[in-house]
Amino acid sequence: MNITLFGYPKTGKTTLFNLVTGAGVEVRAYDDGKREPNVRAVPLPDGRLDRIAAVYPEKKKIAASMDLTDLVGISFGEVKGSLLLGHLRKADGLVHVVRGFENEDVPHPKGRLDPAGDIRVMEEELVLADLLLADGRLERLEKDLKKMKDPEGEKERELLQRLRPGLESGRGLRDLPLAPAEQKLIRSFAFLSLKPLLHVINMDEKDLASLRRPEALFPALGASRRVMAFCGRIENDIAGLEEGEKQAFMAEYGLDDMSASRFTGQAVAFLDRISFFTVGKDEVRAWTVKRGASAAEAAGAIHSDIAKGFIRAEVVAAEELLRLGSLHHAKEAGAIRLEGKDYAVRDGDVIYFRFAP
Ligand SMILES: Nc1nc2c(ncn2[C@@H]2O[C@H](COP(=O)(O)OP(=O)(O)OP(=O)(O)O)[C@@H](O)[C@H]2O)c(=O)[nH]1
Ligand SMILES: [Mg+2]
């Protein structure tokens, strides 16, 4: 699972990346902006994993993780031609970091502070990049179809033509009803306006009181978007403190948690992932899959061989296992269900996969 931080220059992407990963990448007010993306794996904390692991103190505990990528800023108007488009298309989820703070050392390129406006412009830019992609493909298809009959190509052309109005109007593709085969076809394009999108506003320290409700401060944000806020400046200062001092400072600023922990929670929620657990010989481990994933897909998340040789899944809910005391006790109590490869995995399942190697 890959989540990518992107946005206009100097919005606090690397500041957020550092807060979430603890990577300590240098943050500068002035530079040429030509840098490789920062990438780090971020463990996803899960209280259920902790409790299952406590049943098996001799086994290693391994959390699920996401890869967080931090891209350098993309200037206004330049998303469609950006060299970073490939990174955006690869991501499972996009996190748009938005400027909400005043800072004379790093002036806003438009000379004004308007997070809702910046969000609207960025959304338009993402849709425009999709429109150009669709049109480029259509143009090639038209040429090919003139030369040679191709039923698959005609289906693709028909689908792309249906997508065009949504892209041209700037609405994007989210609400379009699609048949499963069309969904599969459309997935291969990796359209940006279809990707889960979270806007994270880097708020000014004077607006700390609105951290939980950025829409109160910026009403134009609207309710239809996923938005969260953090305050890079203050949280960065706090992150550098000793544990004991941290709590005192957070209390002073009225912060009940740090953006890093809220961010990882939001990331799982906005990607609509669920977690399942495995208790192996040496390790207790959490994994994430898309909500609705089958047992076979969950097996594939661990190893393709387990999916290939899938025989059955032995399943018990984490809460049930914890109530009964251990997997062994769950088995004795007959609480373990046998499920086939089409079983829809539920959040919190503990699964043992039987497979033929
Ligand atoms: N006042 C204030 N300054 C901030 C805040 N967050 C970041 N900055 C400053 O803004 C500058 C850019 O921060 P970065 O985190 O590097 O921003 P970025 O989005 O990664 O920048 P690019 O990668 O160059 O596009 C730095 O000088 C930060 O110190 C904030 O919340 N308040
Ligand atoms: Mg940066």
- Distance from residue 88's CA to the centre of ligand 1 (Å): 21
Percent of the chain with pLDDT over 70: 99
Query: Which ligand is the nearest neighbour of the Cα of 104?
Result: 1
- List the residue whose alpha carbon is closest to atom 11 of ligand 1: 29
| Residue 15 Cα: closest atom of ligand 1 | 15
Kindly list the domain boundaries of the chain, sorted by start residue.
Answer: 2-43+65-112+195-270, 124-191, 273-355
Predicted pLDDT of residue 33: 65
- Distance from residue 130's CA to the centre of ligand 2 (Å): 24
Percent of the chain with pLDDT over 90: 74
What is the layout of strands, in order, in the sheet containing 273-279? 60-62, 283-290, 273-279, 349-355, 310-317, 337-339
Is pLDDT at 32 greater than 70 in this prediction? no
Please provide residue 65's backbone torsions phi and psi, each rounded to the nearest 5 degrees: -145, 160
Is pLDDT at 174 greater than 90 in this prediction? no
Report the predicted TM-score, pTM, of the whole model to 2 decimal places: 0.92
Is pLDDT at 34 greater than 80 in this prediction? no
Is pLDDT at 48 greater than 80 in this prediction? yes
Predicted pLDDT of residue 235: 93
Predicted pLDDT of residue 44: 92
| Residue 16 Cα: closest atom of ligand 1 | 15
Distances (CA, A) of 70 to 112, 126, 128, 140, 144: 24, 18, 22, 33, 38
- List the residue whose alpha carbon is closest to atom 12 of ligand 1: 10
Ligand 1 near 268 CB (within 6 A): no
CB 19 within 8 A of CB 110: no
- Distance from residue 228's CA to the centre of ligand 1 (Å): 17
- Distance from residue 264's CA to the centre of ligand 1 (Å): 20
Query: Which ligand is the nearest neighbour of the Cα of 31?
Result: 1
- Distance from residue 98's CA to the centre of ligand 2 (Å): 12
What is the layout of strands, in order, in the sheet containing 2-6? 38-44, 64-70, 2-6, 93-100, 197-203, 227-230
Summary mean pLDDT of the chain: 93
Predicted pLDDT of residue 218: 86
Confidence of residue 86 (pLDDT cuts 50, 70, 90): very high
- List the residue whose alpha carbon is closest to atom 7 of ligand 1: 12
Per-residue pLDDT tens over the stretch 323-333: 999 999 999 99
Ligand 1 near 99 CB (within 6 A): no
Average confidence (pLDDT) over 73-97: 95
Ligand 1 near 294 CB (within 6 A): no
Please enumerate in sequence order all residues whose Cβ is within 8 A of that of 60, keeping only pairs 6 or more positions apart, or say none. Answer: 282, 283, 284
Ligand 1 near 101 CB (within 6 A): yes
Distances (CA, A) of 348 to 47, 48, 76, 339: 11, 8, 42, 15
Ligand 1 near 100 CB (within 6 A): no
Q: Which CATH superfamily is domain 273-355 in?
A: Beta-grasp domain (3.10.20.30)
Ligand 1 near 172 CB (within 6 A): no
Predicted pLDDT of residue 216: 85
Predicted pLDDT of residue 308: 96
Ligand 1 near 232 CB (within 6 A): yes
Ligand 1 near 10 CB (within 6 A): yes
Confidence of residue 84 (pLDDT cuts 50, 70, 90): very high
Predicted pLDDT of residue 265: 86
Closest CA to 284 of 73, 111, 48: 48
| Residue 100 Cα: closest atom of ligand 1 | 31
Ligand 1 near 72 CB (within 6 A): yes
- The CATH architecture that domain 124-191 belongs to is Orthogonal Bundle (1.10)
- Distance from residue 13's CA to the centre of ligand 2 (Å): 5
- List the residue whose alpha carbon is closest to atom 32 of ligand 1: 233
Per-residue pLDDT tens over the stretch 209-267: 888 888 888 888 877 889 999 999 999 999 989 988 998 998 888 888 888 888 988 88
User: Given this structure, which CATH class describes domain 2-43+65-112+195-270?
Assistant: alpha beta
Per-residue pLDDT tens over the stretch 64-80: 999 999 999 999 999 99
Q: What is the 3-state secondary structure (H, E, C) of the chain?
A: CEEEEECCCCCCHHHHHHHHHCCCCCCCCCCCCCCCCEEEEEEECCHHHHHHHHHCCCCEEECEEEEEEECCCCCCCCCCCCCCHHHHHHCCEEEEEEEECCCCCCCCCCCCCCHHHHHHHHHHHHHHHHHHHHHHHHHHHHHHHHHCCCHHHHHHHHHHHHHHHHHHCCCCCCCCCCCHHHHHHHHCCCCHHHCCEEEEEEECHHHHHHCCCHHHHCHHHCCCCCEEEECHHHHHHHHCCCHHHHHHHHHHHCCCCCHHHHHHHHHHHHCCEEEEEEECCCEEEEEEEECCCEHHHHHHHHCHHHHHCEEEEEEEEHHHHHHHCCHHHHHHCCCCEEECCCCECCCCEEEEEEECC
